[in-house]
Amino acid sequence: MKSFFQSLVLLMFLNLAGAVHAADCAVEITAGDNLAYSLSTIQVSRSCESVNIAFKHLGSLPAAAMGHNFVIAKSVDLQAIQNDGNKAGMSGGYLKSEDDRVIVASQIIGGGEATSVELPVGRLAEGQDYSFFCTVMSHSVVMKGTISLVP
C-alpha cells in the first residue's frame, strides 16, 4: 500500500509531466455530440513559436446536425464574429469571409472527423483576453473556453 508521501511524489510527477506536455507546443482538444469541448482553458507557453491544436469530434452525428469548428479570437470579438458567422451559415463555414478579427479557425467537422490549427503565439498580446469557441449554429453561447499565456 502506498504511503501518503509516495502518493504526493506521484502527484508532483504527474503535474511535472503536464507541464512538459504544454512545452511540447501541442494541444489536443475534443468535442462530441453535445455543445462542449473537452477543455475549458488552453495554456499556451510563451516559449512556443506556435502551438499545434489538434481537434477531434468523437461523436457520431454528421456536421450538418452537430458540426463543430474551433476558432480563436479576442474574447471581446466573440459575439460580433458569431453574429457575422450566423449570416455566413454552413456554406460559409459559419464565419465571415476573411474575418480579420479571427486569429485562427478550423474547418467544420462532424462525428469521427479530425482537423488541426496552428496558433502563432506571437499573435497573442500580453494582458489581452482570448477565447476559443465554436461558431456553428451559435454554439459559442456555451461552447467556448479561454486561452491563457503562461511562461
Interface residues with Co ion (CB under 5 A) are 68, 134, 136, 139, 143
**CB closer to Co ion out of 68 and 96:** 68
Tell me how far apart the alpha carbons of residues 110 and 115 are, in angstroms, rounded to a whole number: 10
CB of 33 to Co ion, least distance (A): 10
- In this structure, what DSSP letter does residue 7 have? H
Please count the other Cβ atoms lying within 10 Å of the Cβ belonging to residue 4.
Answer: 7
CB of 118 to Co ion, least distance (A): 20
3-state DSSP call for residue 31?
A: strand
For residue 128, give the C-alpha cell: 489581452
**CB closer to Co ion out of 45 and 115:** 115
CB of 135 to Co ion, least distance (A): 8
Tell me how far apart the alpha carbons of residues 140 and 78 are, in angstroms, rounded to a whole number: 8
**CB closer to Co ion out of 38 and 128:** 38
For the chain, give me the number of helices (H) and strands (E)? Answer: 3, 8
**CB closer to Co ion out of 25 and 88:** 88
Tell me how far apart the alpha carbons of residues 147 and 118 are, in angstroms, rounded to a whole number: 14
Tell me how far apart the alpha carbons of residues 105 and 112 are, in angstroms, rounded to a whole number: 19
**CB closer to Co ion out of 25 and 99:** 99
